[in-house]
Amino acid sequence: MSVISRYRWPISTRMSLIFSGFILALVFALSVGTIASAASLLQISSDPFTNTTSNHKTEVEPSTFAFGNTIVEANQQGRFFDGGGSDIGFATSTNGGATWVHGSLPGVTVNSTPAGPYLRASDASVAFDAKHNVWLISYLGIKNPSTGPVDVDVSRSTDGGLTWGPPVVVNASGDFNDKNWSTCDDTASSPFYGHCYTEFDDFTKLNLFQMSTSTDGGSTWGAPKTDPANTCVIGGQPVVQPNGTVVVPIDDCLETSILSIRSTDGGKSWSNPVLAAQLLNDGHPGNIRSPDLPSAEIDASGRVYVVWTDCRTENFCNSGNNDLLLITSDNGITWSLPVRIPTSSVGCTTASCTDILIPGLAVDRSTSGNQAHLAVDYYTFPNINCTSSTCQLNVGFLSSTDGGKHWSSPQQLAGPMTLTWLPLTTQGYMVADYLSTAIPPGANHANPVFEVAFAPTPPPNCSSPNGTPGQGCNQATFTALEGFVGGSHAATNVPTSNLASPRPNGSPQTAY
């Protein structure tokens, strides 16, 4: 484990690619439709591995959780072309994101120290069990990346996320499991205080919804339960309301709608899904990997917030660009109509279409309702008329102090990045299938967490076009302390006239 202290980089008009100095440079105009001035960035983690079978140095797919003044982040390290990473990395801050320690989980893969039983690991998710004072990182343990089995595991920390124990099996059914996500009931007055939940989908069984429950700080996990409809799903993010109800916003397995599945009895049973929203996506340029998965959070009152990428506000999904939409629910059954988060101006010409993808939502769980603090980081293409070698990928951020009714001006945190600097996978160039933002409860700032790629050494590509791994990649995990400024840019209602999804029907997705 090593320590990273805070370092503030100077700001200029473009990213400086002087990797030895890690200077990230960014300045932009203050208005909706353009990107506001950027903040200083802090690198919190990097890939330490050197095995020749995966891309180094690469980190992808960060997840975070904040409790008190502690933030824990986890990601894949050393991304493989056909799935998973060399290990799961972590970074922990005990002072609200000012300084961090980082390392890799022990005993997980053949590359871990000590070595573990799996060839690879993927899909890290962070949770905290307040009753048992245990931090959890769940992930997939991949025994065979082509055929499985793929287990679901957790690693536990009892010292505030600074050191971690060996894997604890959540599910080792022998199936090909995918897209796990964990959460815990941290409300002392809840009848299920101390219950932790890990959702995953079983690709062997047509992406069957599965949920396992632990009541002892993640030391043991019960047999997985499904819903009566045996729903085909992917990418759920469970949250727990103060009354103990678990709500799981989740995609159907064709990624054409967002569903909501609930449990009101501590995970003993799960409801049939209700439709939360239709999902419409117009694709993304440059062969970037970007499944349209929901990002879900909850406020102090139990209101659930879900953000995803959607095209229905843009020329009836006929422009090739997408926006961010937000829905909310107080019970996980009845959902608001979607509103558009103002990351850019609506409408475009072919030469100026902005595309938004891979959002990571955070909600301050000490705030609620019209005073709820929200923050979203995301990736963006400022111009969709591009290819893998010409697309420019940026990181954006914006916040709200009134429950998502109004938002700050969008801010560019990093970029531009060329897609061929990213590790190539079977589903395209990868920074993440999901992003994450953390807000320490009651803090006046958020910690967006995201991956930043630099030009590989030697150039021009991180991976070869056929997926042969590169050893000169430069893609690491960064954060920034972003204050809540609110803003006057109103979220806008979404037209209901475009009801036909342009996504063709296909087979269930798998995305580890």
Indicate whether 11 pLDDT > 90.
no
The closest alpha carbon to 262, from 330, 354, 353, belongs to 330
pTM: 0.92
The pair of structure tokens assigned to 147 is 């055929």
Residue 235 has pLDDT above 70, yes or no: yes
Query: What mean pLDDT value characterizes the chain?
Result: 90
Bridge partners, 45 (sequence order): 477
Q: What is the pLDDT of residues 279-310, one digit of tens each?
A: 999 899 999 999 999 999 999 999 999 999 99
Q: Is 204 helix (H, G, I), strand (E, B) or coil?
A: helix
How does residue 81 score in pLDDT terms, banded at 50, 70 and 90? very high
Where does the pLDDT of residue 469 fall: very low under 50, low under 70, confident under 90, or very high at 90 and above? very high
Weakest mean pLDDT among 84-93, 109-118, 129-138, 501-510: 501-510
Confidence of residue 39 (pLDDT cuts 50, 70, 90): low
Q: What is the pLDDT of residue 40?
A: 87
d(CA 492, CA 487): 14
- Non-local (6+) Cβ contacts of 34 within 8 A are 28, 410
pLDDT reading at 215 higher than 70? yes
Q: Is 275 exposed, middle or buried (0-12, 13-18, 19+ CB in 10 A)?
A: exposed
Cis status, amide bond into 205, omega within 30 of 0: no
| DSSP state, residue 296 | E
| pLDDT interval class at 117 (50, 70, 90) | very high
SS3 content of the chain, % helix, strand, coil (to 5): 0, 40, 55
Given a cut of 90, whether residue 2 has pLDDT beyond it is: no
What pLDDT score does 350 carry? Answer: 61
Q: What pLDDT does 485 receive?
A: 80
Are 462 and 78 within 8 A, CB to CB? no
From CA 461, how far away is CA 58, in angstroms rounded? 13
Tell me what pLDDT residue 495 has: 74
Between CA 341 and CA 491 the distance in angstroms is 5
pLDDT, position 507: 59
Q: How confident is the model at residue 92 (pLDDT cuts 50, 70, 90)?
A: very high
Question: Which pLDDT score is estimated for 509?
Answer: 64
- Provide the pLDDT confidence category of residue 512 given band limits of 50, 70 and 90: confident
User: Is the dihedral angle over the CA atoms 322, 139, 375, 327 positive or is it negative?
Assistant: positive
Query: How far apart (Å, rounded) are the C-alpha atoms in residues 339 and 337?
Result: 7
Residue 490 confidence (pLDDT): 96
Position 91 confidence tier, pLDDT thresholds 50, 70, 90: very high
Specify the pLDDT at position 16.
Answer: 33
Percent of the chain with pLDDT over 70: 88
In the structure encoding, which two tokens stand for residue 83, read together? 């799935």
For residue 344, what pLDDT is reported?
Answer: 86
Q: Which residue has the higher pLDDT, 268 or 345?
A: 268
Q: How far apart are CA 10 and CA 76, in angstroms?
A: 29
Percent of the chain with pLDDT over 90: 82
**Residue 183, token pair as written in the block:** 């959460």
- Residue 505 vs residue 116, higher pLDDT: 116
What would the mean pLDDT of 30-45 be, rounded to a whole number?
61
What's residue 345's pLDDT?
81
pLDDT at 196 over 90: yes
Comparing 417 with 316, the larger pLDDT belongs to: 417
Give residue 8's pLDDT: 26
Q: Phi and psi dihedrals of 374, rounded to 5?
A: -120, 150
By the 8 A CB rule, do 175 and 149 touch? Answer: yes
Q: Please state the φ and ψ torsions of residue 388, each to the nearest 5 degrees.
A: -55, -35
Give the per-residue pLDDT at 379.
98
CA distance 355 to 260: 26
**What pLDDT does 187 receive?**
97
Q: How many CB atoms lie within 10 A of CB 485?
A: 14
Q: Which residues contact 18 (CB under 8 A, 6 or more apart)?
A: none
C-alpha closest to that of 67 among 129, 157, 6: 129
SS3 state at 77: strand
Give mean pLDDT, residues 381-390.
93
Confirm if 141 and 117 have CB atoms less than 8 A apart. Answer: yes
Sequence-distant (6+) residues with CB within 8 A of 507 are: none
Of 144-158, 312-326, 441-455, 498-512, the range with the lowest mean pLDDT is 498-512
Burial class (CB in 10 A: 0-12, 13-18, 19+), 370: exposed
**Domain 22-493 top-level CATH class:** mainly beta
From 115-119, 260-264, 279-283, the region with the lowest mean pLDDT = 279-283
CA distance 466 to 424: 9
Determine the pLDDT at residue 497.
Answer: 58
pLDDT in tens, 119-169: 999 999 999 999 999 999 999 999 999 999 999 999 999 999 999 999 999
Query: In the structure encoding, which two tokens stand for residue 290, read together?
Result: 């970007």
Residues 6+ apart with CB under 8 A from 370: 402, 403, 405
